Amino acid sequence: MTNMQTYRHIESPGWTLGWKWAKKEVIWSVLGAQASDQGDCSSFKENLPHSCKKNPSIIDLLPNAPFNQQFSQCCKGGVLASQGQDPAAAVSSFQISIGRSGTSKKTISLPQDFYLLGSGPGYTCTAAAVVSPSAFYLGDGRRRSQALMTWSLTCSYSQTIVSKNPSCCVSMSSFYSTQITPCPSCSCGCQQEPFSLFPNRKEDHKISSLVEKSKAERKMVQCTEHMCPIKVHWHVKNNYKTHWRVKLTVTNFRYRTNYTKWTLAVHHPSLRSLANVSSFLYKPLMVYGASNDTGMFYGIDGVNAVLLEAGSNGNVQSEILLQKDNNSSFSLEHGWPFPWRIYFNGDECAMPSPDTYPSLPSSARFSAPTGFGSIKGYLQILVFIVLIGIV
């Protein structure tokens, strides 16, 4: 199983792969994974199969699995990295021994109704299709062997299947404006039953019931105006002669949930001139000739690769230094220094309306005149305005 998505990974508690047998097949044994349910194996008197389910569900083993149960590229707890982040960790494999399945191409039937859960819903799988038999090497690597049959299928992700609402939002601020553009209200849905974060005694029962429900679902989100599990804040921090600096903050508002191997994809034209990134790792995406306006940020293993649950430590930060282009395309006006799109873990975040972006003060929209010619032109404009006023 290979995750071909550039900046979407499958996080803990990991993937689940399932299907429906075409006949009366059983799974005798598995290496590198396990069936989540053995099913009814009462028809077997001795040597019970690993699973007798008509529709088995296969899950990955944990990293500390016994060595004699492991298989190559297995045992990561179902976590699959994205291709852009770690291609070697974007692959998982296991081996199953199947009974009652036939022994030739004519007697073997393809499983049906494949489905994939990537720590939750969202994936839709195609039917399995027979492809050219896989080839592999055995023993010392000098003998090449070929599989009896190989079939393949593709599972595609859709954010709308998971939820009609986004799962993240973007807020903005800048050094040149006191205005802070928050996430749009109800970006990720509104509260069904609003409650205070600091309830009085009359409201205690509402809080306790909500907490118990959220513990079961592991999806309790802190009450905010936007109600998003994740908020990305983009702050234009400094403007230098040849560079400009941005502070990027990702905040987790979800309780009891850490985000491992998180990714943040950003679309902005100045990313082609990125000079330095602190605290995060960076990889450019979608490079077509001179076009390089999309990049992926992600954490450093052992430092901030895990975004902790909501609380004082539930955020990660970085500062980005970007170089100004020679063609003078850089501008602080009209919301230019702010991102066009942002994706967290592959999900597109809700952006504020452009007319709410932090704006330059009126006095900063015109540069101070320098030199006699500039002063003359400035006076001509003033005189013209005065004459119009007189007329």
3-state secondary structure of 42: coil
- 16 contacts 36 by C-beta, under 8 angstroms: yes
Q: How far apart are the first and last CA of the chain?
A: 78
- 343 contacts 296 by C-beta, under 8 angstroms: no
- 75 contacts 62 by C-beta, under 8 angstroms: yes
pLDDT of residue 289: 65
Report residue 383 CA to chain centroid gap.
57
Please choose, from the candidates 4, 1, 49, 54, the residue with its C-alpha nearest in 3D space to the C-alpha of residue 28: 49
pLDDT of residue 268: 92
In order along its 391 residues, the chain shows pLDDT tens digits of: 999 999 999 988 899 999 999 999 999 999 999 999 999 999 998 889 999 999 999 999 999 999 999 999 999 999 999 998 899 999 999 999 999 988 888 899 999 999 999 888 899 999 999 999 999 887 788 899 999 999 999 999 998 888 889 999 999 999 999 889 999 999 998 876 443 333 333 334 433 443 344 344 446 899 999 999 999 999 999 999 999 999 999 999 999 889 988 999 999 988 988 999 999 999 998 766 667 789 999 999 999 999 999 999 999 999 999 998 776 677 888 888 999 999 999 999 999 999 999 988 875 544 433 333 332 333 333 333 333 333 3
209 backbone dihedrals φ, ψ, rounded to 5°: -65, -40
Q: Which helix (H) or strand (E) holds 150?
A: strand 150-152
The per-residue pLDDT for range 310-351, each reduced to its tens digit, is 999 999 999 999 998 776 677 888 888 999 999 999 999 999
pLDDT of residue 375: 28
- 293 contacts 281 by C-beta, under 8 angstroms: no
Burial zone of 292 (CB within 10 Å; 0-12 exposed, 13-18 middle, 19+ buried): middle
Question: Cα–Cα distance between 265 and 104 in angstroms, integer?
Answer: 47
- 81 contacts 58 by C-beta, under 8 angstroms: no
Burial zone of 328 (CB within 10 Å; 0-12 exposed, 13-18 middle, 19+ buried): exposed
CA angle 288, 293, 299 (to 5 degrees): 115
> Model's pTM, two decimal places?
0.79
pLDDT of residue 318: 96
The single-letter code of the amino acid at 246 is V
Residue given tokens 């903005």 in the structure block: 172
| Tokens found for residue 42 | 């009462």
pLDDT of residue 360: 85
